[in-house]
Structure 1
Amino acid sequence: MYDQFDVTLEDVDLLGEVELTTNLIIAASESEEHLSAAEIDAVLGVEPVQDDPDT
Structure 2
Amino acid sequence: MHVAPAGGTAVQDHVALAEIELCGELIIAASAAEDRLSLASIDEVLRVTEEREVR
Q: State the TM-score, normalizing by the size of structure 1.
A: 0.75
Q: Which residue of 20, 26, 29 corresponds with 2:28?
A: 26
Identical pairs, percent: 39
Question: Offset at 1:48?
Answer: 3.8
**Alignment of 1:36 onto 2:38:** yes
Please, which runs of 5 or more residues in structure 2 have no aligned partner? none
Q: 4+ residue runs of structure 1 moved beyond 4 angstroms?
A: none
Contact kept in structure 2, 1:38 and 1:48, CA below 8 Å = no
Q: What is the letter of the counterpart of residue 33 of structure 2?
A: S
- TM-align CA RMSD: 2.1
> 1:1-55 residue pairs with structure 2 within 5 A?
4-6=5-7, 7-48=9-50, 50=52, 54=55
Q: What is the letter of the counterpart of residue 4 of structure 1?
A: P
Question: Offset at 1:9?
Answer: 1.7
Alpha-carbon distance in structure 1 between the residues aligned to 2:10 and 2:54: 51
Question: Offset at 1:5?
Answer: 4.1
Please, which runs of 5 or more residues in structure 1 have no aligned partner? none
